[in-house]
């Protein structure tokens, strides 16, 4: 009983620690990456290759004056960043991050590298909580009493609803192919190869679903080319225009943590999680660490992919965004899940 509780607490501490550490690293990657893409240097003064720049940024944000503008709705204004960060941190508890079956710690089974191993709704939990992420942006936009914030909030709510549909429908195909909502079983269903060399990853039979899921992930995390809620050229900074110091930093951290969760989901659903073709991960701690490294490497690639796209593509117009979501992404996602259904009925998949 106590050992179980301690194991869960350790897993929770590791997950939150890793998520919060990824934020400064991603800020550095984003700034240096954008500099690389735009052929300039980027931050290079603080520490080797500017690596300590995020630390300095964090100190700046913590010590900044905590400004609350006149005319805001006090309670909601302060609540919004809390919701953003709480949702971002709590979605990760159903995400498995390595093969940890059969391992023990302090004589207690660790039930795999996942904080909540017995939650059989798995990915539905993430969708349910992500729904609350919308509220943080909408509340922030409303309570700031600023027209740009309000416009950002309105854009965000319509964008999130539109792309949530495409995202959910594109996941249905994966859930059908692995006949489980649990992400660890989704990964298990992707082990092995076809014809001896093609890995059994969902991305190959369901390339359309993978593309729609990734596009929807960009829209759900408010990243360019879909960062309409905070489009700085039109809306100053959108929903967080009126936020400063750590309250702004909470939104900022939530955005990067959501990025990590989205990348992890892309890897788990479509790119085989911690599996590699032709590699049987051994049981025990050595195999567990190997699977952690593989998974982290794949997630890191997709984190870089998010940065890469952001500094390569220009922003969409709002009507283009809506047309893309409703007229292209949703029909494509439906085609994907029809194809999976037909293929499963014919016994191909």
Q: Interface residues with another protein (CB under 8 A)?
A: 73, 76, 119-121, 124-125, 127-132, 134-135, 138-139, 141-142, 150, 153-154, 157-158, 160-161, 164, 168, 181
Closest approach of Cβ 124 to another protein, in Å? 4
Residue closer to another protein by CB (options 85, 138) is 138
Enumerate residues 6+ apart whose C-beta is below 8 A from 44: 50
Task: Report the distance separating Cα 109 and Cα 93, nearest Å.
Answer: 17
Most distant CA pair in the chain, distance = 66
Measuring CA to CA, how many Å separate 132 from each of 84, 127, 203? 8, 9, 29
Residue closer to another protein by CB (options 2, 197) is 2
Closest approach of Cβ 332 to another protein, in Å? 19
Enumerate residues 6+ apart whose C-beta is below 8 A from 134: 156, 157, 160, 161
Task: Report the distance separating Cα 325 and Cα 219, nearest Å.
Answer: 9
Residue closer to another protein by CB (options 130, 294) is 130
Residue 275: how many CB atoms within 10 A of its CB?
24
Closest approach of Cβ 120 to another protein, in Å? 6
Between helix 2-37 and helix 245-270 the angle, nearest 10°, is 100
Closest approach of Cβ 286 to another protein, in Å? 34
Closest approach of Cβ 329 to another protein, in Å? 17
Residue closer to another protein by CB (options 164, 242) is 164
Residue closer to another protein by CB (options 84, 299) is 84
């Amino acid at each position: 009983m106590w050992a179980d509780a301690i194991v869960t607490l350790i897993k929770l501490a590791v997950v939150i620690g890793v998520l919060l550490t990824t934020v400064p690293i991603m800020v550095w990657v984003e700034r240096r990456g954008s500099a690389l893409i735009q052929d300039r240097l980027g931050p290079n003064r603080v520490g080797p290759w500017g690596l300590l720049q995020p630390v300095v940024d964090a100190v700046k944000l913590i010590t900044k004056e905590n400004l609350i503008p006149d005319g805001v709705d006090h309670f909601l204004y302060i609540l919004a960043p809390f919701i953003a960060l709480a949702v971002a941190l709590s979605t990760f508890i159903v995400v498995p991050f390595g093969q940890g079956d059969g391992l023990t710690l302090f004589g207690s089974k660790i039930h795999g590298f996942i904080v909540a191993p017995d939650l059989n709704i798995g990915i539905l939990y993430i969708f349910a909580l992500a729904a609350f992420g919308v509220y943080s942006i909408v509340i922030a936009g409303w309570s700031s009493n600023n027209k740009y914030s309000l416009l950002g909030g309105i854009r965000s709510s319509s964008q999130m609803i539109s792309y949530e549909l495409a995202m959910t429908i594109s996941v249905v195909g994966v859930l059908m192919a692995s006949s489980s909502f649990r992400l660890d079983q989704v990964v298990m269903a992707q082990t092995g190869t076809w014809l001896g060399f093609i890995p059994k990853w969902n991305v190959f039979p369901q390339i359309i679903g993978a593309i729609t899921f990734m596009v929807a992930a960009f829209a759900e995390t408010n990243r360019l080319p879909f960062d309409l809620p905070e489009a700085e050229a039109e809306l100053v900074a959108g929903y967080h225009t009126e936020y400063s110091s750590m309250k702004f930093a909470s939104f900022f951290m939530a955005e990067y943590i959501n990025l990590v969760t989205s990348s992890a989901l892309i890897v788990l659903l479509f790119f085989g999680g911690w599996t590699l073709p032709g590699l049987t991960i051994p049981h025990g701690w050595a195999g567990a660490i190997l699977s952690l490294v593989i998974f982290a490497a794949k997630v890191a690639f997709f984190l870089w992919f998010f940065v890469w796209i952001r500094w390569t593509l220009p922003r969409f117009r709002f009507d283009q965004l809506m047309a893309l979501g409703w007229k292209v992404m949703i029909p494509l996602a439906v085609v994907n899940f029809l194809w999976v259904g037909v293929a499963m009925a014919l016994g191909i998949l």
